[in-house]
């Protein structure tokens, strides 16, 4: 009798486990990192009216793009990250029905924009560290 009961509970646990595995089909996590992190802290390195274009190139390296303006250039540095996570609950064997899908994409960027005057000296700059706002999931 004890053996029959044990077999029955074994089958029940196995059935529930299989059902859970079938239903909890997949979880996908993706990470994309593009570019290089901004090397230095702009607050410490850039002094408007003093820092020159040559200094900026030496400290931060080549900009990711340059915008020409009639009163001076703009240098833009960017580092982008994309975190995505997807959870799908579906029955993939018999009906292929998806019961639930959760998808989350976070795309953040660190950017540094530096405005130069006509003489090639920094007029002003803006820095935003967006990648710090990314949550792990």
Q: Which residues bind another protein (CB under 8 A)?
A: 6, 9-10, 13-14, 17-18, 21, 24-36, 53-54, 56-58, 60-66, 68, 76, 78, 80, 82, 107, 109
- Number of residues written out for the chain: 137
Give the shortest CB-10-to-another protein separation in angstroms.
Answer: 5
Residue with smaller CB distance to another protein, 76 or 134: 76
Give the shortest CB-85-to-another protein separation in angstroms.
Answer: 10
Query: DSSP label at 121?
Result: B
* Cα–Cα distance measured from residue 16 to residue 36, given in angstroms and rounded to the nearest whole number: 48
What proportions of the chain, in percent to the nearest 5, are helix, strand and coil? 25, 45, 25
Residue with smaller CB distance to another protein, 33 or 48: 33
Residue with smaller CB distance to another protein, 64 or 91: 64
- Sign of the dihedral defined by the CA atoms of residues 41, 43, 45, 49, in that order: positive
């Amino acid at each position: 009798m004890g053996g029959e009961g044990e077999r029955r509970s074994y089958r029940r646990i196995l059935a529930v486990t299989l059902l859970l595995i079938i239903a909890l089909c997949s979880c996908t996590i993706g990470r994309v990192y593009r570019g290089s992190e901004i090397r230095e802290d702009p607050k410490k390195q850039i002094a408007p009216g003093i820092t020159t274009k040559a200094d900026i190139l030496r400290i931060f390296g080549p900009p990711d793009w340059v915008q020409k303006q009639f009163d001076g250039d703009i240098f833009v540095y960017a580092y982008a990250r994309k975190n995505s996570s997807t959870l799908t609950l579906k029955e993939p064997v018999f009906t292929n029905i998806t019961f639930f899908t959760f998808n989350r994409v976070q795309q953040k960027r660190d950017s540094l924009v530096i405005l130069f005057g006509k003489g090639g000296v920094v007029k002003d700059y803006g820095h935003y560290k967006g990648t710090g706002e990314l949550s792990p999931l």
